[in-house]
Amino acid sequence: MRIYAAENYEDMCLKVAERIAALVITEPCSVLGLATGSTPLGIYALLSRWYADGHVSFRQVRTVNLDEYLGLAGSHPQSYRYYMDHRLFQNVDIRPANTYLPDGTASDLTAECLRYDRLIASLGGIRLQLLGLGHNGHIGFNEPGDAFVPGTHVVALEESTIQANLRLFDSIDAVPRRAVTMGMRDIMGAKSVLLAVSGADKAEAVVKAVSGPVTPQVPASILQLHPDATLIADKAALSLLHEIECIYYTNIQ
Ligand code: GLP
């Protein structure tokens, strides 16, 4: 895994957004795998701005998101569909019909998981998968467990994840306890993977993901096996990694 250090959150977002924009400019029909959470907010804000400034178009891009809460319709402000619509899709020229997320309200979840896997396959797989990192090492909503799960599946969220998500809901009872997430086959099948991490609170998870054993107890550790995985993290998130493990990356702007 290549590791690039950014100065801070803003710099991390810039470095990640530059890579996404460069890909979309050079390969306009790209299938982007997208993530939610706090980490990508600055990335999506930059992409939205660069679209508004006429630097990049998403007209031919197709997107598949990693995950969705179970039971939240797209109109719910905390659903990932709502997040994506408001943080990126409505700000750029992407065709709404080309934006895909798992349906957390599907009545037949087994069929929905299968549909999502087939959808990703029908798009030809993912060109670039953007990932955030959970405090427990999760990617998407692939929580620590006894085995890596290959396909899209329903997960029971860990208590620590539920607590982390509480900041976005009115009460603990309102935080969804289950979600549907893309599995490791589609994430690892992406041609390139970009892991974006910010903050000292993620430093321990970064060490485990990057230099610990590859184990389903730390889902992100599987990225060590990916042929084109890049971690872009700010110095706070890299603070527990030995300096020799980082390629310090200077800003060329
Ligand atoms: C959430 C999402 C992940 C995200 C992670 C980190 O639960 N399902 O896709 O990457 O947790 O979130 P944040 O960026 O808010 O720290």
Output the pLDDT for position 54. Answer: 98
Q: Looking at the annotation, which residues are catalytic?
A: 67, 136, 138, 143
Residue 116 — pLDDT band, cuts 50, 70, 90? very high
Output the pLDDT for position 35. Answer: 98
Residue 252 — pLDDT band, cuts 50, 70, 90? very low
**N-to-C CA span, the chain:** 24
Q: Give the DSSP per-residue string, 196-207.
A: EE-SGGGHHHHH
In terms of Cα–Cα distance, which of 221, 233, 235 is closest to 39? 233
Q: Give the amino acid at 232.
A: I
Residue 249 has pLDDT above 60, yes or no: no
Regarding the beta carbon of 80 and ligand 1, being less than 6 Å apart is answered: no
Residue 41 has pLDDT above 60, yes or no: yes
Ligand 1 centroid–CA 120 distance in Å is: 21
Cα 140 to Cα 185: distance, rounded to the nearest angstrom: 12
Ligand 1 centroid–CA 35 distance in Å is: 8
pTM value? 0.94
Cα 148 to Cα 137: distance, rounded to the nearest angstrom: 13
159-195 tens-digit pLDDT: 988 998 899 899 999 999 999 999 999 999 999 999 9
Output the pLDDT for position 204. Answer: 97
Residue range 120-126: average pLDDT?
98
Residue range 218-234: average pLDDT?
97
Cα 48 to Cα 54: distance, rounded to the nearest angstrom: 10
142-162 tens-digit pLDDT: 999 999 999 999 999 989 889
Regarding the beta carbon of 33 and ligand 1, being less than 6 Å apart is answered: no
Regarding the beta carbon of 157 and ligand 1, being less than 6 Å apart is answered: no
Output the pLDDT for position 248. Answer: 45
Ligand 1 centroid–CA 152 distance in Å is: 17
Output the pLDDT for position 242. Answer: 76
